[in-house]
Amino acid sequence: MKIGVVLWLASLMMTGYSLYANLENKWLLMPPVWVMFIMTVIAFILIFRDRSRGRFLALVGTGGTAILLITALMLTSLASSMGAREYIKSVESPEGDYKVEVYRINPGASGGYRILAELHGALWFKKRIYNQERVEDIPVRWEDEHTVVFGELPLDLKEGETHGYGQ
């Protein structure tokens, strides 16, 4: 299989997983949008380079899919950046195994403030663990190595507990 097609399939799979992870509040494993954009552009170039072999219609279909994938990535990036995201604080667990970053989201005229907390993993992996509307600030502390407390609400990270995501 050609490298362009492999890159294209990888981009498509990562974009699909990113959509699933955002909808189901799972670990976000996808690299930053700019990495996906570069990967898709390289796949697009490599696929169209093979145009001289007579498979023009197949290449146009694949190229069209690559263009749709780029558009989907850009729209996903735009939708995820709605509202001003202001960094509040970062809190590490006592032994340093977990790191939680807390943000204040200001959607402007579309609603009130809310607090969002993300658990950071290796590389660019992250998981949203806390989402509270109509709050401007919240105290965050660690109860033990696996339990973080937002205000009075403890979340056991070892058990995968989250707040504010319909679970």
Domain limits, the chain: 3-80, 84-159
For the segment 7-52, what is each residue's pLDDT rounded down to a tens digit?
A: 777 777 877 777 777 666 676 666 776 777 777 777 777 766 665 5
For the segment 109-148, what is each residue's pLDDT rounded down to a tens digit?
A: 777 888 989 998 777 788 889 998 888 889 999 999 999 9
Burial bucket for residue 120 (CB in 10 Å: 0-12, 13-18, 19+): middle
For residue 155, what are the β-bridge partners? Answer: 148
Helix (H) / strand (E) element for 131: namely strand 126-133
pTM for the structure as a whole: 0.60
The tokens describing 167, both together, are: 């679970």
Per-residue pLDDT at 62 exceeds 70: no
